[in-house]
Structure 1
Amino acid sequence: MEKQTVIETSHGRVAITDVGGAGTPLLMLHCNSGCKEMFEFQKQALAGTRRLVSVDLPGHGASSDALDPRRTYCFGGYAEAIVEVLAKIGIAKVAILGHSLGGHIALDLVARLNDVAGVMVFGTPPIPPGPEGAQLGFLPNPEMTYTGNPILTDQQVEGVVAMALGPGAERDLFYTSAVRRTDGRSRQYMVDAVLAGTQLDQRDLVQRSTVPLAIVNGADDPVINLDYIDSLNYGQLWTDRPLRLAGAGHGPHWMQHHIFNEMLQSFLGTLH
């Protein structure tokens, strides 16, 4: 049974969808300017297999804007909010699926939570802090230039949806409305925090971590440096190397959702 709930946190009100099920719960974290509904295909595929919790990050979707935007709108701030949410809904052990920004938050949660069963990320380069990380992990693509803008044009709003979900998705008014609803400061302050170097060293984290990690990227992702991701050393990578899913860009969970969901289910099946 699916429940829509709003959780009060020190960062603001956080809207979640909670679908009951047995086994280790799966937490799903969306991309920059996205919303929890962007995991609809994953919810359909995993229904009845385990508890599924999808979250609107502060400043996104049905959640409130952050009470203290500079505190919250960064990888670590979002992760702190999620820690509070999990505690309030009684989840101690959790698996995490993170898309782009959501993947960075998932990696940060590995360092903050005591019992992460496993993490799958996509569209997420594990980067060191500061400008070096941004240069290593992301491509100099025009599509990246406005992702930190507090205000987006109509064309840019459609570009965010198309990048997050795939070509054609920008015609869906729900998802373009979700991007328009996003607190523009969340984009600006998140990029500011990355460049300021105040975030966790995620490159070092994935090298040292013993938490099972799956990395599945779209082979045609236009914004992340796949070769950089492939070049890293990983402490507990699910496969021999990060996977590249053909026929998909930054949103493989949508563009190739049948194959992506098979990979996700296979990974979840290996977790304890």
Structure 2
Amino acid sequence: MTVTIPGFETSVVTVDGHEVICDVGGDGTPLLLLHGFPETRLCWREVAPRLAGNFRVVCPDLPGYGESARLGPGPESFAKSALATHLIALMSELGHDRFAVIGHDRGGLVAFRAALDHPDKVTHLGVLDILPTVDNWNALQGPGGVFAFHLYLLAQPSDLPERLIAADPDTFFGHFFDTWTKQPDAIPAEVRERYLAAVRRPEAIQAICDDYRASAFIDGAQDQHDQHARRTLTMPVLAAWQDPGDLELPFDPQQIWSSWAPDLRTLVLRCGHFLPEERPAEIAEAILSLTTT
């Protein structure tokens, strides 16, 4: 087991019989940081130390990713409502009944569901370069869908994606590191290799596919139900995303997040998709600003 966040300690926490691997450090109010695809808790290596003077920071590998155990067989174990409940239980095991949560990409979906379903537990929410699942599916139309091809491929109900990816996982996952990053030095070679080592494992490939199947067949329907019920987030929310540059987005992130979050602040950064690694200082500053309001 490798210590991932400089100055943090790696812990193995058993939650409902499933091991969660997390790096924990700092002093202050509790803060949960959740990584995205196709990464591990290592993505917070530049952000978490910047926050350690103000927060007790917890950086877990999401279940099925990195070193954390998946919760069970099938896509239903990756429903974001189930993952959110599991990680809230993780924080309780660590002694934190109320905390802020920040999530990037897939971790943002889990953070969103945690805040929506458990407003008594989540004090502040941050979502980085992600939309709620129902809004994401609704936004995918025309040529814009080309850049999100993986959403459709990974969600296939058969084992087709697992078989295709297993043929050359480094090329498949490397595609996202190459095309989603605008600052080439943001993910150094040794970090990239650690990410690839984590996701090229057959069990990790299956977990990732089940994660995306859950979004296609479970999460979107849950979001849609809540959207029709006019449920909203009751805590302060930060939504940050990348500046698309010359590419015209087929959706308006601010408008979408405003429909869910009455108390919203936004941040647009000139970088690629991997905000915590490409702009760690700005992300840390935005988290600190969010949680002090």
Which of these residues, 271, 274, 277, is aligned with residue 251 of structure 1? Answer: 274
In the comparison of the two structures, how many residue pairs are matched? Answer: 263
Aligned residue runs from structure 1 range 65-144, under 5 A: 65-113=70-118, 114-128=120-134, 133-136=136-139, 139-142=144-147, 144=149
Which region of structure 1 is more displaced relative to structure 2, 222-231 or 105-114? Answer: 222-231
Whichever residue aligns with residue 179 of structure 1, its letter is V
Q: Normalization by structure 1: what TM-score?
A: 0.83
SS of the aligned residue for 2:234 comes to: coil
**Residue of structure 1 in register with 2:196 after alignment:** 176
CA contact (8 A) 1:137 1:228 kept: no
CA 1:221/1:263 → structure 2, altered by over 3 Å: closer, same or farther?
Answer: farther
Instruction: Find the structure with the greater CA-based Rg.
Output: 2
TM-superposed deviation, 1:269? 2.0
Whichever residue aligns with residue 3 of structure 1, its letter is E
CA 1:10/1:156 → structure 2, altered by over 3 Å: closer, same or farther?
Answer: same
TM-superposed deviation, 1:259? 2.2
Which of these residues, 22, 27, 47, is aligned with residue 21 of structure 1? Answer: 27
Deviation track 1:17-43 (CA, whole Å, cap 9, x = no partner) reads 111412x21100010231111101111
CA 1:47/1:198 → structure 2, altered by over 3 Å: closer, same or farther?
Answer: closer
Q: Is 1:187 aligned with 2:187?
A: no
Structure with the higher helix share, 1 or 2? 2
Aligned residue runs from structure 1 range 141-180, under 5 A: 141-142=146-147, 144-145=149-150, 148=155, 149-150=161-162, 151=165, 153=168, 154-162=170-178, 167-168=184-185, 169=187, 171-172=189-190, 173-180=193-200
TM-superposed deviation, 1:221? 8.8
CA 1:222/1:74 → structure 2, altered by over 3 Å: closer, same or farther?
Answer: farther
Whichever residue aligns with residue 201 of structure 1, its letter is D
Which region of structure 1 is more displaced relative to structure 2, 254-263 or 145-154? Answer: 145-154
Which region of structure 1 is more displaced relative to structure 2, 204-213 or 27-36? Answer: 204-213
**Residue of structure 2 in register with 1:220 after alignment:** 244
Whichever residue aligns with residue 229 of structure 1, its letter is P
CA 1:72/1:134 → structure 2, altered by over 3 Å: closer, same or farther?
Answer: same
**Residue of structure 1 in register with 2:66 after alignment:** 61
**Residue of structure 2 in register with 1:238 after alignment:** 264
RMSD of Structure 2 on Structure 1 (CA):
3.0
SS of the aligned residue for 1:15 comes to: strand
Which region of structure 1 is more displaced relative to structure 2, 135-144 or 51-60? Answer: 135-144
Deviation track 1:204-255 (CA, whole Å, cap 9, x = no partner) reads 399622211100101139999573322222433332xx33112x11112211
Which region of structure 1 is more displaced relative to structure 2, 103-112 or 172-181? Answer: 172-181
Q: Normalization by structure 2: what TM-score?
A: 0.78
Identity %: 19
Unaligned runs of 5+ in 2: 1-6, 156-160
CA 1:207/1:80 → structure 2, altered by over 3 Å: closer, same or farther?
Answer: closer
